[in-house]
Structure 1
Amino acid sequence: MSNQFSLEGKVIVVTGGTGILGNAFVNGIVAAGGTVGILGRKKEVAEERADHINANGGKAIALVADVLNANELIAAKNKILDAFGRLDGLVNGAGGNMPQGVLQPDEDIFSMNLEGMKQVLELNLWGTLYPTQVFGEAIAKTGKGSIVNISSMNSKRAITKVLGYNMGKAAVDCYNQWFAVELANRYGDAIRMNALAPGFFLTEQNRNLLTTPEGGYTERGEKVIRNTPFKRFGHPDELIGALVWLLSDASAFVTGSMICVDGGFSAFAGV
């Protein structure tokens, strides 16, 4: 049974691989026996993480690319194929929010920064579509594989301030189901697509929004904790089990699904 969860022999690209959650994804894949392409814009971070994995008996390669730049993604695809000859999986971990995509409570709702909201939406949606188009083609040539998108609690519920991020992740959910069906229509059960929906985890982008310099919670952080039945934020390593399952043959009959790893946030009505 345990062999079903193995990623031995599988080559998997992780976009956003230089971030905090991306680092957990990368390490989890390697621990499960997989070979990983660490894709991000931060060359030094990608190379440092790849070097560390290779020095400790794993297999990894640094891939420097912007997920909104098709030419850079194609170059990254060619690099990993030249190194390992195949591609079996993709984790669309790149995304996030930007200051220009935030509407503060005291700002006029009819004068919001629409261009900023659009930029955040595009990062999360097109930053998922472009890598899928590029790396998905290579997975199809391998003949079998799994694609995992990263959704969010923001995709199904109205989370204040971050409209662009809400819209981007809601669009990712729509794409996740639509593309999973189209993959099945064309490739049967050979290529699957699912989404992982994290609850609230501390990252570079939200740490200052949710916690104080002293280590306590901001007002927004307190609201999150109050509406999370586990009464804590998630740890990045707690995403690994669900991710490895979705990438492995253990989830062979699963496609078009969204798996919540959220401490109960999505199930709680707040009362």
Structure 2
Amino acid sequence: MPDNPQPSPEAAIAELLSIMARLRDPDGGCPWDLKQTFDTVVPYTIEEAFEVAEAVARRDYPELREELGDLLLQVVFHSQMAREQGLFDFAEVVAVLNEKMVRRHPHVFGEVEAADESAVKVNWEAIKADERARKGREHRSAVDGVPDGLPALQRACKLQKKASKVGFDWRQAGPVREQVGLELAELDQALLEGDRDAIEDELGDVFFTLVNLARHLKLDPDLALRRASDKFEQRFRQVEALADAPLSDYDEAALDGLWREAKKRL
């Protein structure tokens, strides 16, 4: 037998739930954990989801293992707070998920046939629409179901995809690229006029149209921006390495020269 046998999934989950309950115990628990509410924990939940995405992007699987654990902790944290309020507990969260997964995959667990991925998506959307109706959330718009709390790039992309499903979309990328130019021209006009509200509005239109262009090019706008940010970070660090004085001591022309040299090296 191994020196350090791994506990069963059931035992590991039971221990995690016990740890969380102990942290939230008013009698000797952690003061920070006891102070938290659903609202205060949400930002950490979102942050942990992004850290999972970052580990995947880097193909850092040991890190992914740890970040998935941190994300699971968020589910357990919310479930513990709900249990304390008599709302639901972790077991109910899992039970609802299990039932949903079976219900949304009738081509696996039922008698519905799905020849390919497209058929699966059609079935999935139909089942979700039925679920919304059962919950009293009847379909009012093609863009229903896009959470307000999504990161802006993702929300824009999801809204556009939903609108596209009912034919509200450009057929090719060319006209979208032309629209980017038009939106930039409108931004230039707002800049000339100096109206900050108009500038913000037009800049938002530029971002939204760029997301649309990425979608038509079959690219993930979030991944494209992430790569650009990573590239900037690497080059900026190279600029710092090339500089022989604080960057604040350089004028614009000198900084541009350092940047050009960094681009040559990276």
Give the shorter-chain TM-score range: under 0.3
Return the TM-score normalized by structure 1. 0.23
Which has the higher Rg, Structure 1 or Structure 2? 2
> Higher strand fraction: Structure 1 or Structure 2?
1
> Higher helix fraction: Structure 1 or Structure 2?
2
The structure, 1 or 2, with the larger RCO (C-alpha pairs under 8 Å, 6+ apart) is 1
Return the TM-score normalized by structure 2. 0.24
